[in-house]
Amino acid sequence: MDVRQLRQFLAVVDHGSVHRAAEQLFVAQPSVTQTIRRLESDLGTKLFIRQGRGLVLSPSGEALVGPAREVVRALDVARETVAAVDGLRGGRLRIASMPSQVVSPLTGLVASFVERYPGVQVAVGAAPRPDDVREALRRGFAEVGVVATGGPTESLADLDRLPLETQSFLLVARDDVNLPADHGDLELSDLRSLPLVAGQPGTGMRRVADAIVAATDCRIVVEIEHREGLLPLVLSGVGAAVVADSWRPLADAVGLQVRRLVVEDQLDVALVWQRYRLSPAAAAFVEVAAAR
């Protein structure tokens, strides 16, 4: 058993078939098939069971996933650590972030990091919910993640955590939407017959939108997973939207009404990572975040 076999095994696990794994690895499909067969022969057990056109893990395969990820990750960190002996002048940092938190605080953190380590390439992947961030870390798609949570986070309890900021919730609407004229904070009782554009269930913004619907005669007219579409929909007159406080500069810039909502719900934003040794680039990013 070697690390190449483990990488190909994990590619099949993550992509669900030998064909898709081969495409991602830029190798021929028969090569991946042969690698898996040799690995199964070495271990004396089947790792996958065919189900329809795809593959699912056998109990033995399930048992191998965790150790395989640890071995592959440890080798990658070892290689990057040696490369950084003379300073962090290259490499790649992979970050998984919830979309609203890309605006703030991630943009400022990345700017500070790139100014200090201009040779490191930063890749930011989208993860709509906290559990998606955790899965990206578990699978090795990212080394650090930015999460925003507003309730129990038992699924994140196995991660190291650096608190970054607390965000409240805002209502954004066009100027022609009739809101109380004092320009102060909005109670839920201030909202009347508003059509709402809402994000997908399982997010803080959706929890607040659902609370508005439950307490008033407002209703959700559009549910959208693509958060980059929220402000364009509001600008087009489809409805108002609940967003995190990180959206305020963007909403102000396009001329929307921006009012803070008086709700108990808030978002605790944090940087998270797995409890393993970080690569030099990821460790440096955590240091930059801790110093802000």
Same domain (yes/no): 63, 199: no
Spans of the chain below 70 pLDDT? 83-87, 151-155
Same domain (yes/no): 75, 149: no
Q: DSSP code of 277?
A: P
Total of domains in the chain: 3
131/163 Cα distance (integer angstroms): 17
Neighbouring residues of 244: CB distance < 8 A, sequence distance ≥ 6: 100, 101, 148, 167, 168, 169, 170, 204, 205, 267
Closest by CA to 137, choosing from 75, 92, 94, is: 94
Same domain (yes/no): 173, 260: yes
Per-residue pLDDT of 259-289, as tens digits, reads 999 998 889 999 999 887 788 999 999 999 9
Domain harbouring 99, CATH code: 3.40.190.10
> In degrees, to the nearest 5, what angle opens at C-alpha 94 toward C-alphas 92 and 96?
170
Same domain (yes/no): 173, 252: yes
Closest by CA to 172, choosing from 107, 237, 266, is: 237
Last residue of a domain, one of 23, 48, 83: 83
Tokens of 79: 């290689």
What is the pTM (predicted TM-score) of this model? 0.76
Domain range holding 223?
169-265
Same domain (yes/no): 24, 52: yes
Same domain (yes/no): 106, 53: no
Q: What is the pLDDT of residue 154?
A: 54
- What are the helix (H) ranges across 84-129? 99-101, 107-116
Domain harbouring 55, CATH code: 1.10.10.10
Same domain (yes/no): 173, 261: yes
Same domain (yes/no): 160, 276: yes
> In degrees, to the nearest 5, what angle opens at C-alpha 242 toward C-alphas 237 and 244?
130
Interhelix angle 280-291/107-116, rounded to 10 degrees, is 120
Interhelix angle 3-15/59-83, rounded to 10 degrees, is 120
